[in-house]
Amino acid sequence: MGKFFERPLVPDDLDRVEGKEKVTGTASYAAEYDVPGVHYGVLVNSSIAKGKISTLNTREAERSPGVVAVVTHLNRPKIPFWDNPPEQQDNKRVEGQEFRVFFDDTIYFDRQPIALVIADTFERATYAASLVKATYKKESPSTNIKNNLDKALTAKQAQDYSRGDKDALKSAPVKIEAQYTTPFQVHNPMETHAATVVWDAPDKVTVYNKTQATKIAQQDIMRTFGLKAENVIVHSPYVGGAFGSSSRVWPEEMAALIGAKKSGKPVKVMLRRDEAFNMVGYRPTSVQRISIGAQSDGTMTGINHEAFGSTSQYEKFAERIVDPTKALYNCANVSTSYRLVPLDMSTPCWTRGPGETSGSFALESAVDELSYALKMDPLELRLKNFAEKDPDNGKPWSSNYLKECYESGAKKFGWKNRNPQPKSMQKDGWLLGMGMAAGIYHAGRSPATVSATLRSNGTLLVQTSVADTGPGSATIMTQIAAEAMSIDVRKVEFQWGHSTLPPAPGQFGSQTTASTGSGVYDAVKALQKKIAGMLSGKQGWAFSGLPVEDISFADEMIVDKNGDKVSYDDALKELSVKEIKAEFESKPTEEREQYSGYSFAAHFVEVLVHPETKMVKMNRVVCAVDAGRVINKKTAASQVYGSMVWGTGIALMEEGILDHRYGRYVNNDFANYHIPVNADICHVDVLFTDKPDPILDPMGAKGLGEIGLVGFAAAVANAVYHATGKRVRDLPITLDKLL
Amino acid sequence: MIAFDYVRPNSAKAAVDAITKDASAQFIAGGSNLVDLMKHGVVAPQKLVDISRLPLNSIEQSGNNIRIGALCLNSEVAEHALIKEKLPLLAQALNAGASPQIRNMATVGGNMLQRTRCTYFYDLAMPCNKRQPGSGCGALKGYNRMHAIFGASNSCIAVHPSDMCVALAALDATVIVAGSKGERKISFVDFHRLPGDTPEKDTHLQKGELITAVEIPVNDGFAKHSLYTKVRDRASYAFALVSVAAALDLQNNTIQHVRLAAGGVAHKPWRLMAAEKYLKGKSPTESNFKAAAEAAMSAAKGYGYNDFKLTLLPNTIIHTLKTIAGV
Ligand SMILES: Cc1cc2nc3c(=O)[nH]c(=O)nc-3n(C[C@H](O)[C@H](O)[C@H](O)COP(=O)(O)OP(=O)(O)OC[C@H]3O[C@@H](n4cnc5c(N)ncnc54)[C@H](O)[C@@H]3O)c2cc1C
């Protein structure tokens, strides 16, 4: 099969390297570090969504047993970067002014932290927090996107886009036009956000947190407190899910940092579930209008996609909501616009498939609607408009096996058995619907630095600061290192998730394997070169004076052209060194610029809808995915299962609901914010094309973390339409919308 | 910390005494609802009287009645052979509620007295007449998708969230309570109350009264033809949008007796008397079921987000009756 991992040294279904620690409970998460003298910080949150704090009474809380400090905007320590901000601020995470906890008396969002109560036990801190009393000067909040479209702004990274003729679709013989909406969705990782902070010295701090990027956390903390990089140590090896919600530093870290500074104690802050809804990011709500025109043979002649997404009043968070529309179909005339609607909420943030997930719901629903208008099979319509090269910039694809995904997915699913007529199929007295949709997600790669060290006990140590928030990156890095080095995978020790390790990009954008994986590969190659150079430089033995190209690494041996061999440990002995280390910064090649890199997916979904109660049941799913070469079959399939589960939630039940009169969440718990339970999930077949991408990185892998979610909700909505004849354009598809 | 006393009396009488003496004392059984309410600050009893180990946990038949002790666990009742055979409707309703873990903690008495799930009731920053009389009803003009379509008032449109109670209302159960003045019986349909101007009161139970058991008359016809349908936003572990408990005593293609109750639609489990009256003596046909559902809905009223229940409930009634009758 020409696999990257052919050799038995590196199985392509390696179990998670950190699996045992996780399932036996020895893996420490952010709130679980045993820090001597640790105190517990509990937040007090505002009961209004907009206005000013008039009075804040902390006296009773301060007198409560066990309390060591109550921090508010009135008594917090000075924070250099906030109190004396530099004129020029670069490196902002989001355009605008980041949220500064306990900064002043302004309330920007509901349940904004207004105080941190620190006590010797969690229970005492919780009780004392209930004694803090605030009064407010309330203003009326705006949290409803639909009522505020007229206040929309343009963000720097979200410029209008147009190719070809904007008006082309006006004259199209077949045309559809519709508005779609998606609600707030909250990441809700199993582990809520937490931070444990120890100030080792006035200018030196250790932070145990939950982050997708220890380096970003380190930078933001050092900048805020005016510290040296080496004096900010961030540990986050184990992360209980993040999905984008740990891509920047949030109030729990800042509150713990400020609280620990103020109290002189190590402080731990862990958010409750209800606090994790409007403080640590979420997927913004969207309103989208799409029109598509086509000739009667199905050739798309024009697409227009206008999107509005919500943001906060203090930052302009823009995602990639119209990106799939630019690249998925071979259509000459495409225009998109994207506006941000500021609401009295906290700033949204990257959320798995950020933008693409909401945008593809609209696009792929609209394409389905077009197929009915054309009386054409939706799969055939997609094939008809398949883009042989990137229609956005004319570049060739680095690789694109979407057609193969369509074909293998349709075959496995039995798409040909579908009666095209809506409401025509039944099973066990339920209405049966089949729907499909496509997904596209850009394949990114960023610079990553990795060090590789061959040690005298014959093991290979590989280090980089990358996070593993759950996808299995540590396992994949271990496999890549073993393969590149030609060493038994059990002899590789991979260290990650600490800011003290060489810099790697954050774990987001589905680029960890391509970026850090390449870094691992290149670091190992650099190490091999260094070893070869040392062997050749040593006098008086087989390898002396050989050009390094003639020295290779195979089957855990160093070999020269003449067949002379030496094992790794013997090589170190010969060289009289304990270890040999190489560090390498790996970057995308220039060749890459000439290509357009994307992952692709085709989703096929079968639903059952109860004819009277309209309850919707997922019955069968096939996801066919082109994510380049699959490095680990297990973790790869798990990524797609996870996408399908979240996609089911997005399609059928997830919705952050606010009472707009108060700008306040009314369903910020798991009883009311529904995510799928086991009984909601059906059988899923995951098919990988498993063909290497020749351009993007040495392994031939493309991103896999998000592609499974792109288009999925539309496939469900399209299946529901096929079952019922009812088009639901406002997610989630709860049964009341089908009655 | 919020300090409270905790006592564990070893007889029902001692439990009643402990409560009667202390205005802010409360019974605790499984704790699966009460502890949540205490954590949220919705209630703050100064004394908890733990009744969970009182010997009120047997299930037995005497004559035509099955008696279930108030401290039987929801899971025990649902799995009990006698219940599965004679009162399958009750077993189904119990299994439709919560999750296996919660059913293993929850007791029959606690289930009856669980409070509403209205979010305005739980959130101390919101108005709620049930939690804080006179503060207003947040749900009336707010987010009321889960709320009542029957018997609500301008003070409160919350619903009683129990599944079990819908079956008990349909099955004409009787609640047995012990108080300082001795024992009394309350018919199940009169146990819970409508909100009126005093939504802070969920039931007609008097302060200090302990539920000791429920009694349910057995009807073999009903046992053969009954069904609990729960319609919810996901396949499990969600409260009912609406639910229907139905039982038919069918003889010679005629409905001799019928019981219908709905959940998720009122401040109490809602017996659909008008529909029952319509169906009695009629044949089990789809058109009769439709007419009965229509009769059931005559007093219904939506509040905006819950308007869909005005369609969903009759659909669910019809579906449930059709399934039972096999038409
Ligand atoms: C996540 C979750 C999901 C749930 N989903 C559902 C669902 O889908 N359907 C459903 O029906 N229920 C559901 N429930 C509610 C569950 O059924 C109740 O919490 C449970 O039945 C309460 O029983 P308990 O014994 O734990 O009561 P407790 O919490 O101990 O007590 C509840 C109340 O009853 C009083 N009390 C208890 N026993 C007696 C007695 N014998 N006499 C007098 N007073 C008494 C207590 O003082 C207290 O006021 C859910 C609960 C949770 C937490």
Domains of chain B, residue spans: 5-49, 221-325
Q: Do A613 and B231 touch (CB under 8 A)?
A: yes
Q: Do B315 and A676 touch (CB under 8 A)?
A: no
Q: Cα(A734) to centroid of ligand 1, in Å? A: 27
Shortest-distance Cα residue to atom 37 of ligand 1:
B110
Taking residue A196's Cβ as centre, other Cβ atoms within 10 Å add up to 28
The answer to whether residues A264 and A401 belong to one domain is no
Q: How far is B236 from chain A (nearest CA, A)?
A: 6
Name the E strands within A331-481: 334-342, 425-427, 430-442, 448-455, 460-463
The answer to whether residues A536 and A468 belong to one domain is yes
The answer to whether residues A574 and A628 belong to one domain is no
End-of-domain residue from the set A587, A617, A650: A587
- Read out DSSP for A542-582? TTTT--GGGEEEETTEEEETT--EEEHHHHHHHHT-SEEEE
- The answer to whether residue A151 is domain-embedded is no
Ligand 1 atom nearest the C-alpha of B70 is 41
Q: Cα(B128) to centroid of ligand 1, in Å? A: 21
Identify which of B288, B287, B300, B296 has the alpha carbon closest to the alpha carbon of residue B314. Answer: B296
- The answer to whether residue A149 is domain-embedded is no
The answer to whether residues A574 and A621 belong to one domain is no
Asked, colleague to colleague, whether B5-49 and B221-325 share their fold, the answer is no
End-of-domain residue from the set A566, A587, A608: A587
Contacts of B126 in chain A (CB under 8 A): 659, 662, 664
Identify the pLDDT of residue A2. Answer: 35
Counting the structural domains of chain A, the total is 3
The answer to whether residues A271 and A255 belong to one domain is yes
Q: Do B142 and A661 touch (CB under 8 A)?
A: yes
Q: Do B308 and A739 touch (CB under 8 A)?
A: yes
CATH of the domain at A553: 3.30.365.10
**Architecture of domain B5-49 in CATH?**
2-Layer Sandwich (3.30)
> What is the tens place of the pLDDT at every residue in B134-170?
999 999 999 999 999 999 999 999 999 999 999 999 9
Shortest-distance Cα residue to atom 36 of ligand 1:
B110
Shortest-distance Cα residue to atom 48 of ligand 1:
B34
- Read out DSSP for A270-317? E--GGGGGSSS--BPPEEEEEEEEE-TTS-EEEEEEEEEEEE-SSEE-
% of chain B residues with pLDDT over 90 = 98
Shortest-distance Cα residue to atom 52 of ligand 1:
B98
**CB of A133 within 8 Å of any CB in chain B?**
no
> What is the tens place of the pLDDT at every residue in B63-78?
999 999 999 999 999 9
The answer to whether residues A506 and A518 belong to one domain is yes
- Residue A47 sits at the vertex; the CA angle it makes with A285 and B122, to the nearest 5 degrees, is 85
Domain span at residue A455 reads: 446-587
Contacts of A671 in chain B (CB under 8 A): 117, 238-239
The answer to whether residues A71 and A118 belong to one domain is yes
Q: How many CB pairs under 8 A join A and B?
A: 78
- The answer to whether residue A583 is domain-embedded is yes
Shortest-distance Cα residue to atom 50 of ligand 1:
B98
Residue partners of A273: CB distance under 8 A and separation at least 6: A188, A192, A668, A669, A670
Amino acid A535 reads L
**CB of B235 within 8 Å of any CB in chain A?**
yes
The answer to whether residues A194 and A106 belong to one domain is yes
Reduced 3-state DSSP string for A587-615: CCCCHHHHCECEEEEEEEEEEEECCCCCC
Q: Cα(B131) to centroid of ligand 1, in Å? A: 17
* C-alpha distances out from residue A90 to A85, A96, A97, A320, Å: 12, 11, 12, 22
Identify the pLDDT of residue A169. Answer: 93
**CB of B3 within 8 Å of any CB in chain A?**
no
Q: Which residues line ligand 1 (CB under 6 A)?
A: A 671; B 26-34, 36, 51, 70, 74, 97-98, 102, 105-107, 109-111, 113-114, 161-164, 210-211, 239
Among chain B residues, CA nearest to A122: B1
- Read out DSSP for A448-492? EEEEEEEETTS-EEEE--B--SSS-HHHHHHHHHHHHHT--GGGE
Task: State the pTM of this model.
Answer: 0.97
**CB of B123 within 8 Å of any CB in chain A?**
yes
Q: Do A664 and B239 touch (CB under 8 A)?
A: no
Q: Do A130 and B41 touch (CB under 8 A)?
A: yes
**CB of A274 within 8 Å of any CB in chain B?**
no
Identify which of A479, A490, A577, A469 has the alpha carbon closest to the alpha carbon of residue A524. Answer: A479
Statement: B221-325 belongs to CATH 3.30.390.50:
yes
Q: Cα(B203) to centroid of ligand 1, in Å? A: 14
Q: Which residues of chain A have pLDDT under 70?
A: 1-9
The answer to whether residues A732 and A605 belong to one domain is yes
Q: Do B126 and A664 touch (CB under 8 A)?
A: yes
Query: What is the distance between the alpha carbons of residues A640 and A625, in angstroms, rounded to a whole number?
Result: 9
**CB of A135 within 8 Å of any CB in chain B?**
no
Give me the active site residues of A, please: 706
**CB of A144 within 8 Å of any CB in chain B?**
no
- The answer to whether residue A309 is domain-embedded is yes
Which 293-322 residues of chain B touch chain A by CB within 8 A? 308, 311-312, 315-316, 318-319
DSSP state at residue A663: T
Q: Do B235 and A677 touch (CB under 8 A)?
A: yes
Taking residue A99's Cβ as centre, other Cβ atoms within 10 Å add up to 20
Query: What is the distance between the alpha carbons of residues A449 and A24, in angstroms, rounded to a whole number?
Result: 31
Identify the pLDDT of residue A9. Answer: 64
- The answer to whether residue A8 is domain-embedded is no
The answer to whether residues A561 and A459 belong to one domain is yes
Ligand 1 atom nearest the C-alpha of B211 is 42
The answer to whether residues A398 and A430 belong to one domain is yes
The answer to whether residues A532 and A640 belong to one domain is no
Residues linked to residue B260 through DSSP beta bridges, in sequence order:
B246
**What phi and psi, each to the nearest 5 degrees, are found at residue A457?**
-85, 10
> What is the tens place of the pLDDT at every residue in B274-300?
999 999 999 999 999 999 999 999 999
Query: What is the distance between the alpha carbons of residues A620 and A615, in angstroms, rounded to a whole number?
Result: 16
Contacts of B239 in chain A (CB under 8 A): 671
